[in-house]
Amino acid sequence: MNAPGKKAPRIQWGMLGGGAKSLIGIVHRIAADMGDDYRLVGGVFSSNATAGVQFASDLELDPRRAYPDVDALIAGEKALAPDQRMRLLTIATPNALHYEAAVKLVNAGFHILCEKPITTSVAQATELARLVRSKGVIFGVAHTYTGYPMVRQLRAMIADGAIGAIHKVHVQYYQGWINPLLRDAGKRRAVWRLDRAQGGDSSCIGDIGVHCFNLVEYTTGLKVERLLADTDTGVPDNAMDVDGSVLLRLTGNIPGVLCASQIATAEENNLQLAVYGRTGALKWAQETPQRLEYLQEGKPLSVLTAGQPYNTPSARAASKLPPGHPEGFTDAMGNLYRGMARAINGEPFDPGAFPGIEAGVRGMRFIDAVLKSAASGNEWRSL
């Protein structure tokens, strides 16, 4: 940990994937820049080594640190003086490549921020978690929505008892973007999410359902203990789920419902969470992320906004601007990077600062349970 008042030096940072015009690459670069905590120095930007070097050159990075693969990256960085090395690597490659890269990086002592899902199987995830713990590296999962100030406010208020004991949870994530692709067999082939070899076993649940799941566990502090799922493929000749509704039972047998769809036609990114407790409720919607609705019995609806002095410390710390100045998706991601920087710089662990490896493992268990429940004729499955 650094001396009080002394700014820690920027953490040298690299990416796996995220090169060229990659949207996720842009988001991560903007997010990492926001807090003056990181300096992008290299990575494996592309599976094509020449393209990776070109990308590094475009960004005016040292092209020698645009490595052709993870092994070369590890070797190259290890050859540098310890204080000249990358310390954090962001993994933003296709899902199927996460596990192997992560294992190598963890073994080499790098910290990791990994896109979700962290692996393609529960077994891999469990093994990776074991390794992370044994090596003592810091591992974050890019559940970006946990970075919004009002999600952190919601989490803190539940913990503070603002709504009493939880007795019902509703979460939904409706998108429509796959719909036009799904119905056009030609276009469909271009969607890697609908290709089991690239996207893994699940499209809807693996991509967006798992965000719902993470958001519930992150904010409520409860665990989903068992679930019963019904999924749908939208059209007969598609093998992947593009829609799913999941009955939940959380710690203490509390009921919940999780609704996800990629064929919710023309919806944009409609993620909503409502948590109902004995005396109040909290509701948040991703498309208006600066607002948090607080319902209390017998009182007017309260609408909390980001950046206000009444925000909880965790929410306050997640806003950079005064109230009424919208902050968005990259700002939320920026808060995950901020949290990881603090951890990397040795500050005490804050479980609300970013989702860790345990959240990654839980997400894999959730996806697995949903797929098995749906395949088995809609039976309850434990996580």
Residues of span 210-229 touching a second copy by CB under 8 A: 228
x/- map, 224-253, a second copy, by CB under 8 A? ----x-x-x-x--------x-x-x-x----
CB 75: neighbour CB atoms within 10 A? 12
Separation of first and last alpha carbons in the chain: 37
Q: Residue 219 Cβ, how far from a second copy at the closest point, in Å?
A: 16
CB 339 within 8 A of CB 356: no
Member of 198, 302, 376, 382 binding a second copy (CB under 8 A): 302
* Residue 126 vs 296, nearer CB to a second copy: 296
Residues between 171 and 200 with contacts to a second copy, criterion CB under 8 A: 172, 174-177, 179-180, 183
CB 202 within 8 A of CB 367: yes
Q: Does residue 10 bind a second copy (CB under 8 A)?
A: yes
Member of 22, 39, 126, 347 binding a second copy (CB under 8 A): 39
* Residue 281 vs 343, nearer CB to a second copy: 281
User: Which of 320, 340, 332 shows the shortest CA–CA distance to 289?
Assistant: 332
* Residue 132 vs 333, nearer CB to a second copy: 333
Q: Does residue 37 bind a second copy (CB under 8 A)?
A: no
Residues between 90 and 149 with contacts to a second copy, criterion CB under 8 A: none
Q: Does residue 287 bind a second copy (CB under 8 A)?
A: yes
- What would the two tokens of residue 278 be? 């004995």
* Residue 122 vs 156, nearer CB to a second copy: 156
* Residue 25 vs 356, nearer CB to a second copy: 25
Q: Does residue 266 bind a second copy (CB under 8 A)?
A: yes
- What would the two tokens of residue 245 be? 């509704």
Q: How far apart are CA 138 and CA 152, in angstroms?
A: 21
Residues between 329 and 368 with contacts to a second copy, criterion CB under 8 A: 329-331
Bridge partners of 112?
A: 89, 139
Q: Does residue 314 bind a second copy (CB under 8 A)?
A: no
Q: Residue 104 Cβ, how far from a second copy at the closest point, in Å?
A: 28
CB 98 within 8 A of CB 118: yes
Member of 82, 136, 300, 348 binding a second copy (CB under 8 A): 300
User: Which of 46, 50, 88 shows the shortest CA–CA distance to 69?
Assistant: 46
Q: Does residue 60 bind a second copy (CB under 8 A)?
A: yes
Residue/partner pairs of 230-239 with CB below 8 Å, 24 or more apart: 230/374, 230/378, 231/204, 231/205, 231/370, 231/371, 231/374, 234/178, 234/179, 234/182, 234/183, 234/263, 235/182, 235/183, 237/185, 238/182, 238/188, 238/194, 239/196
Please report how many Cα atoms fall inside a 13 Å half-sphere around the Cα of residue 234, on the Cβ side. Answer: 27
* Residue 132 vs 171, nearer CB to a second copy: 171
Task: With contacts defined by CB under 8 A, name the span among 114-122, 135-143, 188-196, 320-328 that binds a second copy.
Answer: 320-328
- What would the two tokens of residue 178 be? 């796959």
Task: With contacts defined by CB under 8 A, name the span among 123-131, 163-171, 186-194, 210-218 that binds a second copy.
Answer: 163-171
Q: Residue 30 Cβ, how far from a second copy at the closest point, in Å?
A: 5
* Residue 132 vs 250, nearer CB to a second copy: 250
User: Which of 217, 222, 234, 246 shows the shortest CA–CA distance to 178?
Assistant: 234
36-63 residues labelled b (16+ CB within 10 A) or e (exposed): ebbebbbbbbbeeeeebbbbbeeeebee
Q: Residue 351 Cβ, how far from a second copy at the closest point, in Å?
A: 25
36: left (phi over 0), alpha (psi -120 to 50) or beta: left
Q: Does residue 372 bind a second copy (CB under 8 A)?
A: no
Q: How far is CA 242 from CA 73, 266, 285, in A?
A: 37, 14, 21
How many residues contact a second copy, by CB under 8 A? 88
Member of 20, 30, 122, 156 binding a second copy (CB under 8 A): 30
